[in-house]
Amino acid sequence: MRTRIQSGTISSMDAQKPTSATLQEQLAAPLAALSESEPVDDDSPDSTPSQIAEAFARLLHAMRQTEVSYVNENQAGPDGASELGEYAMELFRQALGRAEQLDLEEEHATLQTAVIVMARWVACQGGQLLSLETVVDALARLANQKQDPGDLLALYQIMGEIMDATAVVIRKDLETTNPGRPWRILNLNRAIVATRTHQPDIMEEAFALLSEQFPQDAPDFFAQGMEQMDLLDYPPHVREVMDRYFRKWSIDRSLH
């Protein structure tokens, strides 16, 4: 499910450079919980929790080798990082499904945070993200928990990293008949996060990109944005940017 963001709170976010060690630390508790809760009767087509944990161990080993090769200037190349990212996203899909099946809410949340770390690791290694659904869901959950403008600015920057690392074939956005496509939701959510930072320059950047890439969505987005300005009592400098884009797209819509 691709989720549109709402509102919420959370403590400050750590946006440090992602590494295999960071990921391993985050995965330890949820993978242990999954293995301990493994059901006896299991007819799922996915791997068992124990098999998922073993697969993550292999993934982390491969990530460490890739990091070492970069340090030694014997780079494995971005293709290797892309392949590891694609493999990881499938593992996360299965692990998240198991955590949900077993009602492990805390572990499910931790796994979603780890998804973002993995996506950022791929980006930092120069790789491409070949699938976005799991990442977009994780980013939306994180955004739903944030209220502090500083936290939201960090999240906005992380979303930008992930957008920049998204594979070209996804960024071409050919599947325009599907409103739930992850690339569209990511762009819309990033524009919402930009608004909630209360920083006009950030809003301008996000709104310009949204207007360019999704002109069919822009009128409704900015109309809904103006409704939020009144509902949540945004400050005048934020309202001014939203109002300007709203008026621009209202005129464009009336002319067409």
pLDDT tens string 225-242: 999 998 988 999 999 999
Is 3 in contact with 141 (CB distance < 8 Å)? yes
pLDDT at residue 8 greater than cutoff 90: no
Is 190 in contact with 156 (CB distance < 8 Å)? yes
Is 102 in contact with 37 (CB distance < 8 Å)? yes
pLDDT at residue 63 greater than cutoff 90: yes
Tokens of 129: 């993200």
Q: Say how far apart CA 15 and CA 249 lie, in whole Å.
A: 34
pLDDT-based confidence at residue 178 (cuts at 50, 70, 90): confident
pLDDT tens string 202-229: 999 999 999 999 999 999 999 999 999 9
pLDDT tens string 126-172: 999 999 999 999 999 999 998 898 999 999 999 999 999 999 999 99
Whole-model pTM?
0.87
pLDDT-based confidence at residue 173 (cuts at 50, 70, 90): confident
Q: 129 forms bridges with which residues in the sheet?
A: 166
pLDDT tens string 31-44: 999 988 866 455 66
Residue whose token pair is 């999704």: 214
